[in-house]
Chain A
Amino acid sequence: CLSGIATVTKEGGGNDVQWCFSQVKGAIDDDVAEADIISTVEFNHSGELLATGDKGGRVVIFQQETENKSQPQCRSEYNVYSTFQSHEPEFDYLKSLEIEEKINKIRWLPQKNAAQFLLSTNDKTIKLWKISERDKRPEGYNLKEEDGRYRDAATITTLRVPVFRPMDLMVEASPRRVFANGHTYHINSISVNSDNETYLSADDLRINLWHLEITDRSFNVVDIKPANMEELTEVITAAEFHPHQCNTFVYSSSKGTIRLCDMRASALCDKHSKLFEEPEDPSNRSFFSEIISSISDVKFSHNGRYMMTRDYLSVKIWDLNMENRPVETYQVHEYLRSKLCSLYENDCIFDKFECCWNGNDSVVMTGSYNNFFRMLDRSQRRDVTLEASRESCKPRQVLKPRRVCAGGKRKKDEISVDSLDFNKKILHTAWHPQENIIAVATTNNLYIFQEKVN
């Protein structure tokens, strides 16, 4: 339950926050191995752990070092805590289809005991992983040597009971549940319910409800598959549970609509409770209008009153009580509107950008191209473009705002649209739930930025 967050951020949230480089993880090599491409980033509920998933099916978890209270200027760093192979490539022999091992999403479960739990998913299978620490081990077995070999029975003359002795910390990840065969189409989202017992998984056409303890059964709550596939006009692109109301979830579509569903209303939520849709601006009509209106991510605010959607060019904030239009709209990179045809050709128009809220819902963040990312301050009505680059990697180096020149005379320090590197895209970003610490994933590097502390 997130209602009692104590935020460490300054009053007003993002105002006048200066961001500094903290760390960068990953190879410096420009030649990126495909398996190393980061595909998801997620902080856990306390912010102490930061998980990343990659195209090779691996999960890497970083842990924040406990701050040294005597030296407040020494910033807490994230170091590798655990690495494990979550998913392997599979082959569906029945359908002659290869199933990619790429981790699409990671979601943490709220911590209940000493161990940490997270859900990770590829296109077809969701897995529940338990990450636990082992810092002691039993020694002094009666029947075994220290190396595990059994002692010769004749030599055993005394009885002794093993005792726990400290050992070097070992972090183990073990798969506790495998939720397989629930989806025909590609899974795009998972979301843990606030009841901490169930979670949903969504693919292109269906949303299933699972119980964390039960792997051989799931309940289908949304099915938009038409009887005749030729009539298919939209697919589900993202889904999320409400942060507090365990009966409510939303799902977004490729047509730019969001549907809010109430599981109390009926068992099957094909009929929505609310439909959020903004009428299209006819002056912006083009061949690609449908593509750019497709929603790539939907996220509830921490307080549960708003939700944010990301489409190709903009971020929209919706009030759950107002369905006919968003309350705020922010342009992420409007200068790309005239380049849609080229972006269609090079497939960039299909890039699925994610978005995230800060701890007190005053600032939202999303990625762009050229390793740029955007911070949109809702309270101050200000926005800034920053860059994750190896050039600004000196410790505590303050990030300088970047500007893109859409046309005409390029001012000093501005970068023209044509110089943007569309291969350098920031699709995944995450914000620490309480502090001003952000994790920004470029293709194969993870940048961690923190608020400048004076």
Chain B
Amino acid sequence: MEYKVEAHRIMSISLGKIYNSRVQRGGIKLHKNLLVSLVLRSARQVYLSDYYSGACLNAAQSEREWDITDTEREKFPPSTTECDRVESSEEPQKNERPEKEREYRENDDEVKSDQADCTSTLQQEQNQNSSQDSVAKVSSETLQETINEPKESPSDSALAELDSTPEANGESHQPPKTHVCSNRKRSAEESESGDSPQKKTKVASSNAKEGEEAEEMDTSNVSNLITIFGSSFSGLLSKDGAKPESEAEDSGQICCDQMLKNLNPWSTAIVAF
């Protein structure tokens, strides 16, 4: 499980770098950001493959939850459903993890205190540990939830929360974000589907084996889940890496609003990790 801790750490560091690159003098460096996003992708692969190796162990237990989530799928946007599955297969975490999460959260709070949208988002997350519309938020939230509420009944409590929050807060709260994120997810998925076979090979050999085994044992729904989860994240990643440059090209960076829109999913992603 050291892989997981290591992967997690590398993901946090990578996200921090991408964020910092925005405020660096001389503009965003495409080369460095590309490399960082590649590392982030590799780390995420490892992190997720460890995730699903845990799924094998909890397979029997999780069947029930998966059935539930299948019906939920009809009701809610795909993003929330993914979370359910992800978290249901997640195994209990060490206690030191929440500390790290909180630390990063606090750090990021300071950094983004001047951005209204982000702050409200962060506060919301902190207060309710709830999920939002955006894919990244939901997925990151899930990880947070599972980490913070390990033993008892992660899926049940989280499910209940997910149940309530999208209706209560999500739709009304930040509709633009939903739109933005779902677009990203779609476009990312298209690029992702081509990429994923290649990506599989990139994972460290030991983890690759685990990932593959887990995948074989999982239902096809879960493998879809991986794709969706993976694509959404990398979509955000590549979008972010691309966005600054395309914006730079199209002179869109003048608009602060655009930057905020980009940053919001990032802020939550950073918060999560």
Q: Using CB atoms and an 8 Å cutoff, list the residues of chain A in contact with chain B.
A: 94-100, 102, 123, 184-186, 188, 204-205, 228-235, 237, 254, 282, 285-288, 290-291, 294, 341, 344-345, 347, 350
Contact = CB atoms under 8 A, between A and B. Distances in A.
Contacts of B232: none
Contacts of A185: 30, 245
Contacts of B243: 229
Given A282-B205, A341-B10, A291 B245 contact: no
A347 B238 CA distance: 20
Interface of B: 6-7, 10, 13, 17, 25-27, 29-32, 34-35, 38-39, 42-43, 46, 187-188, 191, 204-205, 235, 238-239, 241-243, 245-249, 251, 253-254
A350 B205 contact: no
A123 B30 CA distance: 12
A19 B260 CA distance: 55
A186 B249 contact: no
Contacts of A96: 253-254
B187 A230 contact: yes
B31 to A, nearest CB: 5
Contacts of A294: 31, 35
17 contacts: A97-B27, A98-B25, A98-B27, A100-B25, A100-B26, A123-B27, A185-B245, A188-B31, A229-B238, A229-B246, A230-B191, A254-B31, A282-B205, A285-B205, A288-B39, A290-B39, A294-B31
A231 B6 CA distance: 27
A153 B35 CA distance: 72
A287 B43 contact: yes
B35 A350 contact: yes
Nearest to B235: A230
A49 B176 CA distance: 60
Nearest to B251: A94
A270 to B, nearest CB: 18
Nearest to A93: B254
A290 to B, nearest CB: 5
B39 A287 contact: yes
Sorted from nearest, which 9 A-B pairs have the closest CB atoms?
A229-B242, A100-B26, A230-B238, A97-B27, A204-B30, A94-B251, A290-B38, A291-B35, A287-B42
Given A285-B204, A288-B39, 14 more contacts: A98-B25, A98-B26, A123-B27, A185-B30, A186-B30, A204-B30, A231-B238, A254-B35, A285-B205, A286-B204, A287-B10, A290-B38, A291-B39, A341-B10
A229 B27 contact: no
Contacts of B43: 287
B263 to A, nearest CB: 15
Contacts of A229: 238, 241-243, 245-246
Nearest to B14: A344
Given A96-B253, A230-B242, A287-B39, A235 B31 contact: yes
Given A184-B248, A230-B235, A291-B38, A95 B31 contact: no
B26 A232 contact: no
Contacts of A123: 26-27
A232 B10 contact: no
A397 B205 CA distance: 50
Contacts of B242: 228-230, 232
A229 B243 CA distance: 8
Contacts of A235: 30-31, 34
Given A235-B31, A290-B38, A344-B13, A95 B204 contact: no
A232 B248 CA distance: 16
Contacts of B254: 94-96
A119 to B, nearest CB: 20
A198 B127 CA distance: 63
Nearest to A188: B31
A205 B31 CA distance: 10
A287 B46 contact: yes
B249 A231 contact: no
Given A99-B26, A184-B248, A228-B191, A254 B205 contact: no
B251 to A, nearest CB: 5
Nearest to B29: A186
Contacts of B25: 98, 100
A291 B40 CA distance: 12
Nearest to B39: A287
Nearest to B20: A347
Nearest to A100: B26
Contact of B188 (A94, A230, A233, A290): A230
Contacts of B205: 282, 285
A426 B191 CA distance: 40
Given A229-B245, A290-B39, A204 B31 contact: yes
A234 B38 CA distance: 10
